[in-house]
Structure 1
């Protein structure tokens, strides 16, 4: 059984930056992106504070975010690594299945990846990660090296938006 408090706040800074960016996008009429909460079942609730102190995940989550960018349906997941690699074990089979189904319906699926060692953020299209995923399933490497990240998909700070990933969605659309 997977417990809610077992992994701490891993990735919380990245998610805060994404949430702030999404708020700016909405305020500026650029996009409407929502964080998808992971359904949990409370086990222990502090009666004084009414805070959940222990819970387990009721079901597998799909992706972290879903929404629409000027008529284009998008979904994405945020991943953070302190290493020189993005371990594929951080990406789950059910997420890949969901993203594949999403793209088959005409949406755009991707990952926002933060390499904290280099303080760099990348837009990683689903199709790119799928190549690594498929190779890993047949005995290939089980990670994506930082040095193989596409430098044209670096996410920059622009116009007061810290993680301006919409530019990279446009970049992806223009090139595919």
Structure 2
């Protein structure tokens, strides 16, 4: 079993906080968001404990979460970073493709990032994600720094909601609307 600080458990605290947030949103009828499990194919199963001891990924996953917020389709991925620099290699090409196609269908895609170094949760808009991603593809930095991010999209804990991203989703929607005018 991986130790608490192993790569295998990285992000589990962030996901647990997001799951608690999503439960609160569901109970309050604000949103219905589901965690998407990564499909695996078990190879060995310990029959005594009924635990999978060896498995492989059946297919590439898309994003961590998908659902609807007040009738608006959303999808997002949760990422954790222990420095003030986020490597773009943590976002895979198939995830960018899925999020792009989701946006083309009228949905809203974004990342929720926890920067453990400054202890900050951040809502990264799809527009900003694509700017950083294309910069890396075109020979620029293959990462982005925390200080490059707009502080407007920093997430606060609010009313018992740990990762209150709906406020930032609303700000994202407002910016999108203002650019259409």
Q: Distance in 2 between matches of 1:153 and 1:135?
A: 21
Q: Deviations over 1:109-131 (max 9, x none)?
A: 00001100011000001111101
Q: Distance in 2 between matches of 1:55 and 1:127?
A: 36
Q: Distance in 2 between matches of 1:47 and 1:122?
A: 42
Q: Deviations over 1:42-87 (max 9, x none)?
A: 0111110111111110000000000000000000000100011110
Q: Distance in 2 between matches of 1:144 and 1:53?
A: 36
Q: Distance in 2 between matches of 1:54 and 1:154?
A: 39
Which residue matches 1:9? 9
Instruction: Please state whether the residue corresponding to 2:99 is helix, strand or coil.
Output: helix
Instruction: Please state whether the residue corresponding to 1:147 is helix, strand or coil.
Output: helix
Q: May I ask how many residue pairs the two structures share in their alignment? A: 173
Which residue matches 2:115? 115
The runs of at least 4 consecutive aligned structure 1 residues that moved more than 2 Å come to none
User: CA offset at residue 160 of structure 1?
Assistant: 1.1
Root mean square deviation of aligned Cα: 1.4
Q: Distance in 1 between matches of 2:26 and 2:122?
A: 21
Which residue matches 1:75? 75
Which residue matches 1:50? 50
Q: Distance in 1 between matches of 2:7 and 2:145?
A: 24
Instruction: Please state whether the residue corresponding to 1:16 is helix, strand or coil.
Output: helix
* Runs of at least 5 residues in structure 2 that lack an aligned partner in the other structure: 1-5, 177-181
Which residue matches 1:66? 66
After TM superposition, the score normalised by the length of structure 2 is 0.93
